[in-house]
Amino acid sequence: MKRILVTGGAGFLGSHLCERLVESGHDVLCVDNYFTGSKSNIAHLLGNPRFELMRHDVTFPLYVEVDEIYNLACPASPIHYQHDPVQTTKTSVHGAINMLGLAKRLKARILQASTSEVYGDPEVHPQPESYWGRVNPIGVRSCYDEGKRCAETLFFDYWRQHRLPIKVVRIFNTYGPRMHPNDGRVVSNFIVQALRGQDITIYGDGSQTRSFCYVDDLIEAMQRMMATPEEITGPVNVGNPGEFSMLELAEKVIQLTASSSRLEFRPLPSDDPSQRQPDIGLARRVLNGWQPTVALDEGLDRTIAYFKKRLSV
Ligand code: NAD
Ligand code: UDP
Ligand code: UDP
C-alpha cells in the first residue's frame, strides 16, 4: 500500500486513475482546482476511506506527505487550454516546479502526463520518442505545447541535477467515459452531436488523422510506467497506433449511434496537426509487453453508452 498523489484527479483521465489506484489498495490524495474537472467524476470514491479530495491549484506550493506523484493537472482540450493561455503555461510550468519540489523533498517517484503535442505538426510519421518535434512557439496552441515541453525539461533537469526518480509518458489522444461533453474534443463532440441529431462538425476537409486510445489501456500503461525500474525515465509514447481520419471517425460514430446526423464542414483551426500516430515500440519493451487491447469500435460503444446516460437520450 502506498500513499499516492494524483494532481488533476477530478478530470477525465485523473478520475479513472484515482479509481484504479484505490481498487489496487492504495491511499489516494486527489488534488484539483476543478477548472475542467468536476466532483461528479470522483463522487463515487468519496465514501471510500482510502480516497481523499483536496481543492488546490498546483501553481501554488503544496505540502503533503506521499510516496508517489502522478502529475496530470492541466486543461487538455484546445478550447479549455486556450481559454486562459497564460494560466495554462503557468499550470504546466509552475505546477511542474512545485510538484518536482514536493517530490524532491519527499524523495518520491513522480510521473508527468506529457503529450503527443510535444511533436507539434510532425514531419516524421509515426512519431518515435527520438523525434524532437515541430512546434510553433508563438501560436494559439503554444501555451499547451511549449508548457508541456518546458515541463519535460524540468523533469529531466530534476533527474540530472537532483537524481529525482522521474517518469515521463507522452499521451496520444485518449477517449472514454467522463470526457467533458462540452470541451470540444473530437470524440466527445461527434458523439454528443450524433446522439442529439445535430450536424457533425468536421474541421477542414476531415483528412487530418489522429490515433485514439481507450482510457483503460492508457491507465494500465501509466501504472506500469510508474512501476518500472529507476533507470527507466522515458519519455515513453503511450497510445493506440490505430490511425483514423476525422471523416472516418465521423462515419464510425454515425454508424454506431444509428444517427441521422449530416456532416458540416468548418474552417480548420490554426496549427492543427495534420497527422499523428504513436510509435509504441519503446512502450512495449519497457512496460512488460503492454499494448492497447480495446479497438476503436468497442471503445466508442462504451463511450456512447456513457454519453447516452449522461445526456439522457
Ligand atoms: P481534463 O481537463 O479532464 O483534466 C485535467 C484536470 O486538471 C482537471 O480536473 C482540471 O480541473 C485540473 N486542473 C487544471 N489546472 C489545474 C491547476 N492549476 N491546479 C489543479 N488542477 C488543475 O483532461 P484529461 O484529458 O484528463 O488530461 C489529463 C492530463 O493528461 C493533462 O495533463 C493532459 O495534458 C494530459 N493528456 C491528455 C490527453 C488526452 O487525450 N486525454 C492527451 C495528452 C495528454
Ligand atoms: N515545493 C512544494 N512542496 C514541497 C517542497 C517544495 O510545493 O514540499 C515547491 C516550492 O514552492 C518550491 C518548488 O517546489 O519553490 C521547487 O522546490 P525546490 O526545492 O526544487 O526549489 P527551491 O525551494 O530552492 O525553489
Ligand atoms: N475536430 C473536428 N471536429 C470537432 C472537433 C475536432 O474535426 O468538432 C478535429 C480537430 O481539428 C483535430 C482533431 O479533430 O484535427 C482532433 O481534435 P481534438 O481537439 O480532439 O484533439 P487534438 O487536436 O488536441 O489532437
CA of 280 to the centre of ligand 1 (A): 22
Measured from the alpha carbon of residue 140, the closest ligand is 3
Residues 293, 271: Cα–Cα separation, whole Å: 31
Regarding the beta carbon of 181 and ligand 3, being less than 6 Å apart is answered: no
Q: Are residues 273 and 194 in contact, defined by beta-carbon separation less than 8 angstroms?
A: no
CA-98 nearest atom, ligand 2? 14
Regarding the beta carbon of 210 and ligand 3, being less than 6 Å apart is answered: yes
CA-58 nearest atom, ligand 1? 19
Whether the ω angle into residue 49 lies within 30 degrees of 0, i.e. cis, is no
Q: C-alpha angle 107/14/143, rounded to 5°? A: 85
CA of 15 to the centre of ligand 2 (A): 26
Best residue among 79, 243, 246, 247 to mutate for probing ligand 3, ranked by most atoms within 8 Å of CB: 246
Q: Are residues 269 and 144 in contact, defined by beta-carbon separation less than 8 angstroms?
A: no
CA of 262 to the centre of ligand 1 (A): 31
CA of 234 to the centre of ligand 1 (A): 20
Regarding the beta carbon of 148 and ligand 3, being less than 6 Å apart is answered: no
CA-144 nearest atom, ligand 1? 34
Measured from the alpha carbon of residue 7, the closest ligand is 1
Q: Is the pTM of this model over 0.75?
A: yes
* Gap between the terminal Cα atoms of the chain: 41
Q: Which residue has a Cα nearest atom 9 of ligand 2?
A: 98
pLDDT tens string, the chain, 313 residues long: the values are 999 999 999 999 999 999 999 999 999 999 999 999 999 999 999 999 999 999 999 999 999 999 999 999 999 999 999 999 999 999 999 999 999 999 999 999 999 999 999 999 999 999 999 999 999 999 999 999 999 999 999 999 999 999 999 999 999 999 999 999 998 999 999 999 999 999 999 999 999 999 999 999 999 999 999 999 999 999 999 999 999 999 999 999 999 999 999 999 999 999 999 999 999 999 999 999 999 999 999 999 999 999 999 998 6
Please, which residues have CB within 8 angstroms of residue 105's CB and are 6 or more apart in sequence? none
Residues 95, 205: Cα–Cα separation, whole Å: 37
Residues 94, 112: Cα–Cα separation, whole Å: 13
Measured from the alpha carbon of residue 30, the closest ligand is 1
Residues acting as catalytic residues: 144
CA-158 nearest atom, ligand 2? 20
